[in-house]
Amino acid sequence: MNASKKCPQCGQWSRWTQNPSDRCEHCQSILDPVTVARQQARQERRQEEDQRFTIDFIRINPDEPWFTRFYKRIGLGFQIAFASIISLFLWLIALLAG
Ligand SMILES: [Zn+2]
């Protein structure tokens, strides 16, 4: 499906394939900068959330010797138990405060 869109930079009409990252045929500027910025912000937020999760929990590396993995697994179990207790507390506080 082909459409055309007026370039926000130079004001000329340019071919547009409904893709927000399409660029103007005349000045090479992005035809839909608002959507592109929104998509980038969403992507960055998702990456931040992924990073936060991997930092919070111990990463178990399969190349490590079995005892290291064993201890890490115990530590990870404690971390998950601790995280559940914390979230239970937060839930209780929210319940009591409300
Ligand atoms: Zn243009």
Residue-wise pLDDT for 11-44, tens only, equals 999 998 888 889 999 999 999 998 889 999 999 9
Long-range contacts of 54-58, Cβ-Cβ distance < 8 Å, separation of 24 or more: 56/83
CA of 21 to the centre of ligand 1 (A): 13
Q: pLDDT, tens digit, for every residue of 61-73?
A: 777 788 888 888 8
CA of 96 to the centre of ligand 1 (A): 57
CA of 9 to the centre of ligand 1 (A): 5
Distance CA 24, CA 40 (A): 19
Domain boundaries, the chain: 1-56, 60-98
CA of 79 to the centre of ligand 1 (A): 54
Residue 16 burial class via C-beta count within 10 angstroms: exposed 0-12, middle 13-18, buried 19 and up: buried
Q: Could you give the maximum distance between any two Cα atoms of the chain, in Å?
A: 66
What the block records as the tokens of 29 is: 């500027």
Share of the chain above pLDDT 90, in %: 37
Higher pLDDT, 85 or 56: 85
Quote the radius of gyration of the chain (alpha carbons, Å).
24
CA of 25 to the centre of ligand 1 (A): 6
